[in-house]
Amino acid sequence: MESRLQGRLSFFIALRIMSPALKYIGCGIILALTMSCKEKLNNKNASPDTQTVGNISTTLSSDTATLGKLINLRLYEPTAAKFKYTFMDNSGQNERLSTPGPSDSYLEAILYFDAATFAQLLKDAQQRDSTISSLSKEEFNFDWLDQSIKDELIKSEAVYENHSELFAESSEVWFLDNKLLLRKAWN
């Protein structure tokens, strides 16, 4: 504690002794360093996987921690995931909108599970308020999926459509082999 006080005291004494021109230069250097650090912190918080065009931001990521902020992954924790999250800012904060409205967001995801977790997930989905899927495969044929997943989707049979909050309220899922495709819209 004393060394900090001595360091601060030395700094202020040095400022007092310096000529006025040197004071401004010293303060300018401190200000520049502070602004540089703040800019680095702001850039650190921006996702490198996010692209923004106009009022639409799109994130393509495999970060399960980020995905866990959008949907509930605590009950059925995936071993891996990849997702596309699109946010349409309709708040009126840009020139495109003259009248603000509610913002919309959309999530498309593939979640991979170990065999035991997937078996439990499938069992729970069948026991909940589920029905044989009325969704079409095309609705889950996301443009960003790997071709091998698209091929598996085309060959798959409809299993269960579930809207009972396995991962998020009103989400739609399509089960594959130890993985599932998920869609969710917030309007």
pLDDT value of residue 55? 85
pLDDT value of residue 103? 83
Count, residues in the chain: 187
Distance CA 156, CA 104 (A): 30
Same domain, 112 and 180: yes
Same domain, 33 and 106: no
pLDDT value of residue 144? 97
Cβ-contact 137, 106 below 8 angstroms: no
Same domain, 125 and 181: yes
Q: Which positions of the chain have pLDDT values less than 50? A: 4-5, 7-9, 11-12, 14-15, 22, 26-46
Number of domains in the chain: 2
pLDDT value of residue 54? 85
Query: For residue 160, which of 186, 137, 119, 131 has the smallest C-alpha distance?
Result: 131
Please write the tens of the pLDDT for every residue from 170-182.
888 889 999 999 9
Concatenate the DSSP letters of all residues of 134-165 into one string.
-S-GGGG--TTS-HHHHHHHHHPPP--EE-B-
pLDDT value of residue 106? 95
Same domain, 35 and 114: no
pLDDT value of residue 83? 97
Instruction: For residue 143, give both structure tokens.
Output: 């443009």
Give the structural domain span for 59: 50-186
Same domain, 29 and 74: no
pLDDT value of residue 169? 83
Same domain, 41 and 72: no
pTM: 0.68
